[in-house]
Structure 1
Amino acid sequence: MKMSHVGIMVADMDKAVEFYTKALGLEIVMSKAAVIEERETAIGAMCIAVFGQGFKGFNIAHLVTTDGIGFELFEMKDREERHNVDFSKIGLFHFCLETDDFEGVIEKVNQYGGKVRMDTMRYHPEDDNKPYKMVYLEDPFGSLFELYSHSYKETYSSEYE
């Protein structure tokens, strides 16, 4: 199994594209495009099935990470703002990105309207041979994500001990 993409609801597509490309370094695969409610195309029928009749349309953009994971950004025409993480909701909680420029990404997240949700943490502070760092961040629209300094496997696997 491979990861293909993640879909994220945003409140302002232009601001979202700027944040995800300039703060996080993702590449644009398809610029902002409008999707309307219609039944004539496969995409139109799929959107009605997913969002229901009367969804009023949305803008979409497709971005990609350096290792090929897609990010679909959705800006719904009819939506409610949310500013707090709802931990009572079951489902996707966050996504995680890995970078070689840990502090630089944190600075850019702040610069482009995101937030740092906690102090940077080291998983193994007692072991200088394991400098693995992480931090929870937030995009300008309240989507929570984690940033790792090393790979998931390095961070958690006993083979790296």
Structure 2
Amino acid sequence: MPMTLLNHVGVTVPDIDAAFAWYRDVLGLYPHRPPEEVVDDGSHFGDLVTDLFGPRLHGMRIAHLTAADGLGVELFEFTDPATEAADETFAYWRTGIFHFCLTVEDVTATAAAIAAAGGKQLSGVWRLFQNKDYEVVYTQDPWGTVIELCNRPYTAVWANHEPPTNA
């Protein structure tokens, strides 16, 4: 089987217009398609999303942005049934995706910008390894999605590094 590329992540938000602007302006993602309505109307795309999400879905809005490396970020606002906030936004102990990570030049400045724009900084800025300047921080968008920030690409950090020790 050929190597698989990570194509995109999907993020559910309660206000897609605000989230689209926030991800564009605060995180610097490139806007490809602004928010648009999709309804269960018998059209090809309407049938497609009904098949993906099930017969309970009758309406939603979707928008598309990308990171500099081409990773897509799809934003979803479900309108029928309406989007509901999660009971616990940082439920890392539950199965499934609990965060996604963006590579940024300045972890500290980006975390501060997220907090200043209505998000949160969830952790301190940490060096992954004491002898390397690989920095990480956990943040959260204003709607509860956890976004890790790292100042190096994933492969630069993990491809040739010894496993961390607890000593």
The two structures share one fold, judged by TM-score above 0.5: yes
The higher-RCO structure (CA 8 Å, 6+ apart) is 1
* Superposition RMSD in Å: 1.7
Secondary structure at the counterpart of residue 20 of structure 1: helix
Task: Note if contact 1:19-1:109 (Cα within 8 Å) is conserved in structure 2.
Answer: no
Q: Which residue of 2 aligns with 1:26?
A: 29
Flag as ranges the 4+ runs of structure 1 deviating above 3 A: none
* TM-score between the two structures when normalised by the length of structure 1: 0.89
Structure 1 position 101, deviation (Å): 2.4
Quick one: which amino acid aligns to residue 145 of structure 1? I
For 1:119 and 1:40, locate their aligned partners in 2 and report how far apart those are by CA, in whole Å. 48
For 1:159 and 1:88, locate their aligned partners in 2 and report how far apart those are by CA, in whole Å. 26
For 1:65 and 1:39, locate their aligned partners in 2 and report how far apart those are by CA, in whole Å. 33
Structure 1 position 151, deviation (Å): 1.5
Quick one: which amino acid aligns to residue 34 of structure 2? S
Identity of aligned residues (%): 31
Quick one: which amino acid aligns to residue 23 of structure 1? V
* TM-score between the two structures when normalised by the length of structure 2: 0.86
Structure 1 position 90, deviation (Å): 1.6
Quick one: which amino acid aligns to residue 69 of structure 1? L
Select the residue among 59, 62, 70 that pairs with 1:60: 62
Could you tell me which runs of 5 or more consecutive residues in structure 1 were left unpaired when the two chains were aligned: none
Could you tell me which runs of 5 or more consecutive residues in structure 2 were left unpaired when the two chains were aligned: 163-167
Structure 1 position 88, deviation (Å): 4.6
Q: Which residue of 2 aligns with 1:6?
A: 9
After superposition, the Cα gap between the structure-2 partners of 1:99 and 1:59, relative to the gap in structure 1 and judged at 3 Å, is same
Q: Which residue of 1 aligns with 2:110?
A: 105
